[in-house]
Structure 1
Amino acid sequence: MVLRVLIAILLLASPVAACEADIACRIDNRSYHVRLPDDWDGVTPMPVMLHFHGWGRQGDLVVNHGRISASTRKRGVLLLAPNGNGRTWNFRRGRSEDVDFAAAVIEDAAARFPIDRARIFVSGYSFGSGMAWRYVCENGNGVAALFAVSGTIDQRETCPEAPGEVRHVHGLSDNVMGYPKGQGNDLLYPVALWRAAYDCDGASAPDPYFIRSFLTFDRYTWDCPRGRVTFDQHAGGHFIPHGWFGRQLDEMLGLTPSYP
C-alpha cells in the first residue's frame, strides 16, 4: 500500500500522467479512465487491458468494477477504460471513429505509463463487447487477444485485421444483445466470423468448467492456422460472469488461476 501511494504521488507530480481512477485522462475533446495494478513497482512495463463499457455507462464504472478492475489490479495489468460519446459506441458499421479514438487512448497511455505492447488485450461487455469486436476487426493486428462478453458484430463481415486470439463468452438466455444463432440453430455461431478468418476446422468437444460453482461454462476451442478461438457458452443471461476476465488473463499471462 505504501509503495502504491508513493507511485501515485510521483505520477501525479507529472503533468503527463496526472490522471488515474476517477480522474479522467483527456485526449482533445474526449477522455478515458485508468486503473493501475495494486503492486506495480512504477518501472516495469505493464500488460494492458483496453475495456469498452456497456451502453449508458462510462469508464469510471469500469475502473471501479469488481468483475473488471479487480481482475486487472491483482494481475499486474494496466486497465484503460475509454468514455463513449453519448455513453455509447458506434460499432455496428465499419470505419468507426471510436476505433481511432481507442487507438489514441493506447498511445496516450503509453506516453504516461510504460506498457508491454506484446500483451495488449481488448475487452468489452454488451455494447462494449460489440465495440471490442469492431476495434480488433479494424485495428487488431497488434492485439494479443480479444476478451468479449455478450456482444458481437455481424458474423457475415470480413475483417481486415485480427487479434492473435479470440475469447468470447455468451449466455444462451441473453435477451438484451441476443444470442447469435446461425443457420440450423448453430449454437457456435457467435464466433463464426473469427472461425472463418482464422481458417478453423471443427471445434473441440465441449469442456465443462466453472469459476464459481453456480455457473458452468461449456468451453469450445479451435486451434487454427491463423489464430486460436475460445468460446465459453453458459445457460444464463446478459451479465459479466464472476471471475471470467480474471481467468482469461491468468491463462494468457501464464498465471495460476485465481479469483477474482
Structure 2
Amino acid sequence: MRQLLVCLWMGLQAPVAQACTGQDACELGERSYHLRVPDSWDGASPLPVLLHFHGWGRAGGLIVRHDRIATGKVAEDVLLVAPTGLGGSWDFRRVGSRDSAFARAVLEDVAARYPVLADAIFVSGYSYGAYMAWRFVCDDGADIAGLLAVAGSFADTAPCEAAPREVRQVYGLSDQVLDFPYGPAGETDTPVALWRDRFDCNEANENPTPTEWNARSFLTFERQIWTCAGGRIVLDLHPGGHFIPHDWIPIQVDEILQDQRP
C-alpha cells in the first residue's frame, strides 16, 4: 500500500529540493509543508520525526510555532513536520486517501533533506487532523512508531489495512465539537476500540490500568493502558472539551522514545 501511494503521489507531483524551515514553506509539487528543526540538533545526528496534521481551517505554518505542540521534547529533540491540508482540511473519509499519499511523500522529502531515525517516526493530529492521522496510519502506518491522536478517532468498524507500533489517544469527555464516542452502555474505552481489536487485546492479555496523570494543562487525566499481542495502547481521558492539552503530545513522544532506549 505504501509503495502504491507514494508512486501515485510522486507520479503526479515532483518534489523540488530547497532549504526550508520555520515560516518558509517546503514546496512539494503544488502543495507544501512546514518543518521545525529541534533546538539541540548538532547538524548531523539522525532525528526522530513528528508529522502533525493540523485541525480544520489551519495550516502547517501555525503548527511549527504552536505552544502546545512545538514545545518540550518536540522543540528540543524532534524534527517537527507539518503538512498543509487543501482548503484547510483533510481527505480522511476513504481508504487510499490522496492525503495519505501526500503525507508519505512529505516524509520521503524530509528524509532527503535531513537525517532521520527510521524507527522513530511519529504521527499526530488534532480534531479533523486526528482523523487524518488515523487515516494515514490505517493506509500506510506499518513503519510508524506511534499514533498520537487528540480529540478525534475512528469507529471500530472503520476499514484499516495497516497499524503503527503503538497508539496513544486523548479525548475530553465534555467535547461538544467532535462528541466523545461513548459506547452503547456508556463505555469510555471506545476511542481505541479499533486498535484493541487489531492488536489482539483479548481477555487473556488485556491489562487496563486506570491512573491519574497530570501535565502543565492542570487537568487530571484517567489513563488506561493495554499491553497486547500486537502493541501497546494508551487512552488518556479528561473532563474538558475540544482542545490540545498542554504538553500532551511532547510527553507521549518522550515516553515512547525512552521506552525504545536500550
Partners of 1:221 and 1:230 within 8 A in 2: yes
Runs of 4+ in 1 over 2 A off after TM superposition: 71-75
| 2:244 alignment partner, one of 227, 240, 243 | 240
Residues 53-101 of structure 1, C-alpha deviation per residue, up to 9 Å, x if partnerless?
0000000000010110113544310000000000000112222100000
> Cα 1:35–1:70, aligned 2, differ >3 Å: closer, same or farther?
same
Aligned equivalent of 1:159:
160
Aligned equivalent of 2:9:
none
CA–CA separation in structure 1 for the residues paired with 2:73 and 2:112: 20
Aligned equivalent of 1:9:
none
Residues 19-39 of structure 1, C-alpha deviation per residue, up to 9 Å, x if partnerless?
111110011111000000012
Aligned equivalent of 2:91:
90
1:36-115 to 2 correspondence within 5 Å?
A: 36-115=37-116
Aligned equivalent of 1:190:
191
1:166-205 to 2 correspondence within 5 Å?
A: 166-201=167-202, 202-205=206-209
Aligned equivalent of 1:22:
23
- Farther off after superposition, 208-217 or 236-245: 208-217
How far did 1:186 drift? 1.4
Q: Give the partner amino acid of 1:69.
A: A
Alignment TM-score, normalising by the size of structure 1: 0.89
Q: Give the partner amino acid of 1:119.
A: A
How far did 1:157 drift? 1.6
Partners of 2:217 and 2:246 within 8 A in 1: no
How far did 1:184 drift? 1.3
- Farther off after superposition, 15-24 or 94-103: 15-24
CA–CA separation in structure 1 for the residues paired with 2:236 and 2:74: 23
How far did 1:141 drift? 0.2
- Farther off after superposition, 179-188 or 141-150: 179-188
SS at match of 1:254: helix
Aligned equivalent of 1:35:
36
Say what the alpha-carbon RMSD is for the aligned residues: 1.4
Gaps of 5+ in 1: 1-14, 256-260
SS at match of 1:75: helix
| 1:251 alignment partner, one of 252, 255, 258 | 255
> Cα 1:204–1:252, aligned 2, differ >3 Å: closer, same or farther?
same
CA–CA separation in structure 1 for the residues paired with 2:209 and 2:74: 33
Alignment TM-score, normalising by the size of structure 2: 0.89
Q: Give the partner amino acid of 2:224.
A: Y
Partners of 2:74 and 2:250 within 8 A in 1: no
SS at match of 2:255: helix
CA–CA separation in structure 2 for the residues paired with 1:212 and 1:29: 39
1:140-159 to 2 correspondence within 5 Å?
A: 140-159=141-160
Partners of 1:140 and 1:162 within 8 A in 2: yes
Aligned equivalent of 1:3:
none
Partners of 1:55 and 1:87 within 8 A in 2: yes
Partners of 2:33 and 2:82 within 8 A in 1: yes
CA–CA separation in structure 1 for the residues paired with 2:155 and 2:210: 24
Gaps of 5+ in 2: 1-15
Question: Identity, % of aligned pairs?
Answer: 51
When the two structures are aligned, how many residues end up with a matched partner? 241
